[in-house]
Amino acid sequence: DWLNIVKTGESRSKIRSWFKKEKRDENIVNGKAEVEREFKRNFIRLDSEKYEKFIEKIAERQHFAELDDFYAAVGYGGIQITRLMPGIKDEYNRNWKPKEPAVAPKPMINVEDNTSSKNSN
């Protein structure tokens, strides 16, 4: 492992950077899968158009210009999606969760006692 051979932190940083670039495509795929898995686990459901917009907002909030950069960071472990989930769930519940249709309360049915009451003495 090259990271154990080099002595300076700058060299280690350059090697890590090189490996990240080499495995970028793989990290994007892994990051996407991890985000989707966490969304399913936390019951975040959106159609594909809203999903893209929602993820872009999250990536933007984390200071990523490109969505693939965000996925790559999640894929190689630079960002832990589990740490972001409380804020993501809050954002989803406030602004993105589909509104449930208001259900009118069922009218109460007044059932009268139709049995005749006879006084038998």
One digit per residue, the tens of pLDDT, for the chain of length 121 reads: 666 777 888 887 887 777 777 788 999 999 999 999 999 999 988 888 889 999 999 999 999 999 999 999 999 888 999 999 999 999 999 888 877 766 666 666 766 655 655 555 5
Asked if residue 37 belongs to a domain, the reply is yes
Asked if residue 109 belongs to a domain, the reply is no
Residue 31 in contact with residue 75, Cβ under 8 Å? yes
pTM for the model: 0.67
All residues at 6 or more sequence positions from 105 whose CB lies less than 8 Å from its CB, including other chains: none
Give the total number of structural domains in the chain.
Answer: 1
Containing structural domain, residue 84? 9-96
